[in-house]
Chain A
Amino acid sequence: MGLEDRILYSADPWLCYYCGECSDYCPRDADPGSFMMALRRLLIQKYSIVSKTFFNKMAAAITWIVLTLIAALGIYFFREHSPNLETVDLSSFLSLHFIHDAGLAVGVIVGIFALLNLISMYRCIAKGTSYSYSKVESRSPVLWIKNFFKTIIYEVAAQLKYSKCLKKSRYVAHLALFWGFLGLFVATLIVFGIDFYELQISRVVPFVIGVISGVVMLYGSIYFIIARLKKKETYVMYSYHTDWVFLILLFLAGVTGFLLAIFVKANLPMESYIMYAVHLIVVFDLLISAPFTKFAHAIYRPLALWIDSTVRESPIIGGIMGGGRGG
């Protein structure tokens, strides 16, 4: 309809959590919920050209294979040549320095791309709000900062808007995915700290955090995998391949992590090293692709909510909505 700009310049698609109630109630079977989901898929690709490779089935398959090969070959070339086969010692398989450097490299790349994507998104939405009465730039910095913390606490940490969806178990599962992933990330950081920066914390702390977070994340990913297989509720009626890849990667990261822990505890050197390699490959795939895949909603949605809450908090009703509507 020639209104692509209106969609591109709008934060609205990110305010929708796809509870599916609109599609359930629609008297004409118009399915607005999956339309919003499709918009988000489109927007991820619009914000970043790289994303396109993950949303076309063929290109995605090739990209995933290439990424997996890079990780596998990396491990293959940088592995230590005489791993300890008597007792498990992961550093005898891959040196701590390799893990440190590779991890840092991935982190920096992901961080830069995430930032670039967020800037791209911000510029789009700022253009959109110039249609309306209230411009993004016209809000006071104090309000921006206040709303930043509000968004982080209420919408990122607690995901209160999501909790308004009728199905509460789904909210809990999503929260489990989020906190589980974050917990594992924090546990990894602590181990890094202990190994390289002489952090004075017992290794039991990251282990406990890791186990709990792993269980929580596995619960979340299994919940959504089952829901998507059953297709009983509206929001899982149509699963796109990007939905599946994201879920399966999360699930695999959890499972391989657990198996690794079990093998290490059981002192099975060869099994441990193989599982270690598989786990690292999965985690590499998951992280390196994060700014471009469905995972990216974790950065886009908070930004949209932040901008929206700030622009909307004004005497002029409409705000961002006025510019964004019309799709």
Chain B
Amino acid sequence: MVGVAKPVLVIGGGIAGIQASLDLADQGIKVYLVEKLPSIGGKMAYLDKTFPTLDCASCILTPKMVSVARHPNIELLTYSEVVEVKGSAGDFHVKVVKKPRYVDEDKCIGCGECISKCPSKVPDEFNMGMSQRKAIYFLFPQAVPLKATIDKEHCLYFTKNICRVCERICPTKAINFEQKPETLELNVASIIIATGYELMDPHLATTYGYGKYSNVYLSLEFERLVSSTGPTGGEIVRRSDNKHPRSIAFIQCVCSRDVKINPNCSAFCCMASVKHAILAKEHLPEVDCTIFYMDLRAFGKGYQEFYNRAMKEFGIKFIKAKPAKIEEDPETKDLIITYDDTLTSIKRTMRVDMVVLAVGVKPVYPEVLPLKIGEDGYVCLKDPIMESIASTIDGVYVVGVAAGAKDIPDSVVQAGSAAAKASILAGV
């Protein structure tokens, strides 16, 4: 039957989209993998380690990303977006717009010469703005495909009509300022949505002072801070004075499980913060780590053990409290946390050098599909128990955080499951 199967479209190139694409392609089904950013990898690419095993995240992810790029059955459409979907299960007609990179992907060899010479500096979104990249850039060093992209907003040629130094320096003459958006029309049997999430706006937690106090961090910022590919090369230092913190507080459920902002549990933050505290201890054995939690949700296999290990082996303190507010000492830039200890009912304050906010997630899904969105903001499922990856549209599957907050192992399992369902429609 191989050869007559119809292609499948996967939207989103994070770990779930990657896994779904590989599982389909390995069955001989042609896959179009559409990713809106210049590289696949998704949020997992930001991570230093994964819980509960503390495996190196990029050591797991990067080989899979490379497999996607090299797989004969996968057509990788990065820096692209789905703009139209018509038809029905078994016969979807999809329009995809490929945004111009202003770099010829066939010619670019990823040498990075252009990047080293580019004079325009921009905050690096991959490092959460904590370092700078150039206007021509790779999203991150292990980007797949390793093709340079020009950021039109900041390129001196596009903004001031000067420079063009990349064009001169490129050894393969890959720079093409004339590139236009390109529309592709695809005919696919099934669609898998793996569009993941964005972080909630941390400014909604008005009493925590994110953006106002320099030593208040987001969990993803902290993740970059401990990463050897991060802005400080893996040194945990404070934004205010570049010194190692002597104490770090991790606050859970920021913009999560809060009926005023976002009532949903974001599922992975508890374990992610336990991991952050352990990583902080591994980097700086003298640091005091405290986790402020509402309920510590250690539900998965090996998670309770991970939590126990954090307490016993690493001496991390856990306080059941949702802090009321954070204030900054204007001189030292230390942070003073006011909280009511739920277990003792006593109001206390704690002074720490650094605060990390475990900010909740907000699902992302393609607007072009007539998906039904639940009251919780996630894509509705046909049946939450027996059809937990089927959207309300026949032939359209939804996996990963777009369908409901979850961690990496669960996203990978869903991806494989959706690949199996989609292959039925593809007609292997």
Residues of A whose CB lies within 8 Å of any CB of B are 24-29, 318, 321-322, 325-326
CB pair B345–A25 under 8 Å, yes or no, is no
B260 sits at the interface (CB 8 A): yes
Cα distance A232–B258 when bound, in Å? 21
Chain B residues with CB under 8 A of A325: 345-346
Contact of A29 among B259, B294, B324, B346 (CB under 8 A): B259
CB pair A25–B207 under 8 Å, yes or no, is yes
B95 sits at the interface (CB 8 A): no
B281 sits at the interface (CB 8 A): no
Between A and B, 23 residue pairs with Cβ closer than 8 Å are A24-B260, A25-B207, A25-B260, A25-B324, A26-B260, A27-B253, A27-B257, A27-B258, A27-B259, A27-B260, A27-B261, A27-B294, A27-B322, A28-B259, A29-B259, A29-B260, A318-B346, A321-B346, A321-B347, A322-B346, A325-B345, A325-B346, A326-B345
Chain B residues with CB under 8 A of A326: 345
Chain A residues with CB under 8 A of B261: 27
Minimum CB distance partner of B256 in chain A: A27
Chain B residues with CB under 8 A of A321: 346-347
Among B253, B294, B346, find the residue whose CB has the most chain A CB atoms closer than 10 A.
B346
Residues 61-84 of B, flagged 1 when their CB comes within 8 A of A and 0 if not, give: 000000000000000000000000
Residues 250-283 of B, flagged 1 when their CB comes within 8 A of A and 0 if not, give: 0001000111110000000000000000000000
- Tell me how far the C-beta of B307 lies from the nearest C-beta in chain A, rounded to whole angstroms: 22
- Tell me how far the C-beta of A194 lies from the nearest C-beta in chain B, rounded to whole angstroms: 52
- How many residues of B are counted as interface, with CB atoms below 8 angstroms from the partner's CB atoms? 13
Chain B residues with CB under 8 A of A27: 253, 257-261, 294, 322
- Tell me how far the C-beta of B84 lies from the nearest C-beta in chain A, rounded to whole angstroms: 40
- Tell me how far the C-beta of B320 lies from the nearest C-beta in chain A, rounded to whole angstroms: 14
Cα distance A318–B345 when bound, in Å? 12
Chain A residues with CB under 8 A of B207: 25
Minimum CB distance partner of B294 in chain A: A27
Residues 307-325 of B, flagged 1 when their CB comes within 8 A of A and 0 if not, give: 0000000000000001010
Chain B residues with CB under 8 A of A28: 259
Cα distance A326–B343 when bound, in Å? 10
- Tell me how far the C-beta of B242 lies from the nearest C-beta in chain A, rounded to whole angstroms: 33
Chain B residues with CB under 8 A of A24: 260
Chain A residues with CB under 8 A of B346: 318, 321-322, 325
Minimum CB distance partner of B325 in chain A: A25
- Tell me how far the C-beta of A11 lies from the nearest C-beta in chain B, rounded to whole angstroms: 15
Chain A residues with CB under 8 A of B294: 27
- Tell me how far the C-beta of A246 lies from the nearest C-beta in chain B, rounded to whole angstroms: 31
- Interface set, chain B 292-316, CB cutoff 8 A to A: 294
Cα distance A322–B346 when bound, in Å? 8
Residues 338-354 of B, flagged 1 when their CB comes within 8 A of A and 0 if not, give: 00000001110000000
Residues 157-176 of B, flagged 1 when their CB comes within 8 A of A and 0 if not, give: 00000000000000000000
Cα distance A28–B345 when bound, in Å? 17
Minimum CB distance partner of A326 in chain B: B345
- Tell me how far the C-beta of A85 lies from the nearest C-beta in chain B, rounded to whole angstroms: 64
- Tell me how far the C-beta of B258 lies from the nearest C-beta in chain A, rounded to whole angstroms: 4
Cα distance A313–B257 when bound, in Å? 38
Chain A residues with CB under 8 A of B322: 27
- Tell me how far the C-beta of A27 lies from the nearest C-beta in chain B, rounded to whole angstroms: 4
Chain A residues with CB under 8 A of B253: 27
Minimum CB distance partner of B347 in chain A: A321
Cα distance A321–B346 when bound, in Å? 8
Minimum CB distance partner of A28 in chain B: B259
Chain A residues with CB under 8 A of B259: 27-29
- Tell me how far the C-beta of B393 lies from the nearest C-beta in chain A, rounded to whole angstroms: 34
Which 7 pairs from chain A and chain B are nearest by CB? A27-B258, A29-B259, A325-B345, A326-B345, A27-B257, A27-B322, A27-B259
Given contacts A25-B260, A322-B346, 14 further A-B contacts (CB under 8 A): A24-B260, A25-B324, A27-B253, A27-B258, A27-B260, A27-B294, A27-B322, A28-B259, A29-B259, A29-B260, A318-B346, A321-B346, A325-B345, A325-B346
- Interface set, chain B 167-220, CB cutoff 8 A to A: 207
Chain B residues with CB under 8 A of A318: 346
- Tell me how far the C-beta of B358 lies from the nearest C-beta in chain A, rounded to whole angstroms: 13
- Tell me how far the C-beta of A308 lies from the nearest C-beta in chain B, rounded to whole angstroms: 14
Minimum CB distance partner of B255 in chain A: A27
Cα distance A6–B257 when bound, in Å? 30
Minimum CB distance partner of A25 in chain B: B207
Cα distance A19–B345 when bound, in Å? 21
- Tell me how far the C-beta of A269 lies from the nearest C-beta in chain B, rounded to whole angstroms: 60
- Tell me how far the C-beta of A16 lies from the nearest C-beta in chain B, rounded to whole angstroms: 13
Cα distance A28–B260 when bound, in Å? 8
